[in-house]
Amino acid sequence: MSPPDATAAVLQQLLMWVVLPGWLASGVADWYCHKVERIEHSAGLAESLLHLAMLGELGLGVLAAAALDINAAVLWLLFVLCVLHEVTMLVDLVYASRRRRIPVAEQWVHGVQQAAPWFAWLLLAAIHHPQALAAIGLGDATPDWQWQLKTPPLPAATWAVIATGGIVLVGCFTGEAWRGWRDRRSSARALP
C-alpha cells in the first residue's frame, strides 16, 4: 500500500488516538453500568455471553485493522464484523430490556458503542479510499483481496494501547460473566 497523504495521516491520528481510546472507554463505562445494575441477578449469564460475543466480533476487527494492510478484503471483513456486531447488539438489547432496567446513562454509552465501529470503518475507508471504491466496483484501482501484514507494522505504542484496552475489556466482561455464572438464577437461563 502506498504511504498516506497529509489528510489520511490526520485521519489515522484521529482514529488511533481519539476514536479507539474513546471506544475502549465506552466499553469500560458499559461494564460499569452493568456492575452498578447487578445484571447477574436479572439478565444474568446470557447477557454477559452476548457482551463477550460483541467484544470478540469487534476485537477481531481491531486486530485485523492493526495487523493487516487495509485493502478491499480487510474493508469487507470489517464491514461484515460491524454488521454482525449490530445484530448481536440488537439481540442483546431485546434480551436485556425484557429482564432489567436499562438506565439512560447506559443507553447513551450504547449509542457510543454502536456508532464507534462504523465511524472507525468510515475513517479507514476514507484513508484507503481507492481500495474502498474498488471493493464495490467503483474508481480506477483494482481491488486487492490478499491478506497481507501491514508494512511497516504499527508502532509499539499503538500496539500497547490496543493490547491494554483488550486486556482491560476482556477482564471486565469475563468478570461480569463469572458473576452471572455464580448466580444460581442466572446460570439456568438460556438465550432467547
How confident is the model over 89-137, as pLDDT tens digits?
999 999 999 999 999 999 999 999 999 999 999 999 999 999 999 999 9
Q: Hey, what amino acid is at 20?
A: L
> In this model, does residue 63 exceed pLDDT 60?
yes
* pLDDT at residue 104 in the model: 96
Q: How would you label 45-71 residue by residue, b for 16+ Cβ within 10 Å and e otherwise?
A: bbbbbbbbbbbbbbbebbebbbbbbbb
- The domain ranges of the chain are 40-187
* pLDDT at residue 131 in the model: 97
The whole-angstrom separation of Cα 74 and Cα 171 is 27
User: How crowded is residue 1: how many other Cβ atoms within 10 Å of its Cβ?
Assistant: 14
User: How crowded is residue 113: how many other Cβ atoms within 10 Å of its Cβ?
Assistant: 18
Q: Percentage helix, strand, coil, to 5, in the chain?
A: 75, 0, 20
Q: Hey, what amino acid is at 146?
A: Q
The whole-angstrom separation of Cα 47 and Cα 106 is 14
Per-residue confidence at 47, pLDDT binned at 50, 70, 90?
very high
pLDDT per residue as tens digits for the range 159-189: 998 999 999 999 999 999 999 999 865 445 4
| Percent of all residues in the chain with a pLDDT value above 70, rounded to a whole number | 93
* pLDDT at residue 187 in the model: 46
* pLDDT at residue 17 in the model: 87
